[in-house]
Amino acid sequence: MPRFATGTALALCLAAPVQADVTPQQVWSGLVDNLGALGYSVSATETMEAGALTVTDLTMTAAIPDEDATVTIAFGGLRFAEAGDAAVAFTYASPMPVSVRIDDADDPVEMMFDLTHQGLTILVSGTPEPADTYPRRTASGSR
């Protein structure tokens, strides 16, 4: 290949933006699918802006058949953003308020707590196709 063509090809490769193999929407959809497989129905408000998906008003509900009850878990916001390096960064605020309610005719339970962390970021990478095994996930933060 002539020197000019090689240099041009290299420049085009370096100038092209790095894109994730998965998108923030695909990571969120995969999480919703996994929760569905565990018996949860999920409702939330999704807002996509500048390569980041923000999920608010997140509520998960599941039946507890052995107890003839229902559990509802409500979270604050989640954020899925393109992180470069073919990954999506999954983060949430600290503290993140969480409420859990178990509707049981005999003994209903309701609790609220804050989920806290220091600099937690979960990086998700791979392909959007379902796999037989879980993809590698990493988390980083400080104490």
**CATH number where 108 lies:** 3.90.1150
Query: Whole-model pTM?
Result: 0.73
pLDDT of the residue at 13: 33
Any domain includes 127? yes
Q: What is the pLDDT of residues 46-91, one digit of tens each?
A: 999 998 999 999 999 999 888 888 999 998 889 999 998 788 999 9
DSSP 83-140: -STTEEEEEE-SSEEEEEEEEESSS-EEEEEEE--SS-EEEEES-SS--SSPPPEEEE
**What tokens appear for 107 in the block?**
């003994």
How many structural domains comprise the chain? 1
Any domain includes 3? no
| pLDDT, mean over the chain | 79
pLDDT of the residue at 141: 59
Distance of CA 65 to the CA centre of its chain: 27
Q: Which residue has the higher pLDDT, 142 or 78?
A: 78
**Which domain covers residue 40, as residue numbers?**
17-140
Any domain includes 8? no
Any domain includes 12? no
Query: Distance of CA 53 to CAs 3, 25, 79, 102, Å?
Result: 43, 7, 6, 29
Highest averaged pLDDT of the listed ranges 66-70, 80-84, 127-131, 138-142? 80-84
Any domain includes 97? yes
**With pLDDT > 70 as the criterion, what percentage of the chain qualifies?**
76
Any domain includes 33? yes
Which residues fall within 8 angstroms of residue 75, CB to CB, at 6 or more apart?
Answer: 58, 59, 60, 92, 96, 97, 98, 115
Indicate the helix (H) or strand (E) that contains 29: helix 24-37
**What tokens appear for 68 in the block?**
């003839």
User: Do 103 and 134 meet the contact criterion of CB atoms below 8 Å apart?
Assistant: no
Any domain includes 76? yes
pLDDT of the residue at 139: 55
Any domain includes 6? no
Strand segments (E) across 3-51: 41-49
Kindly state the average pLDDT of the residues 91-118: 90
- Residue 9 pLDDT > 90: no
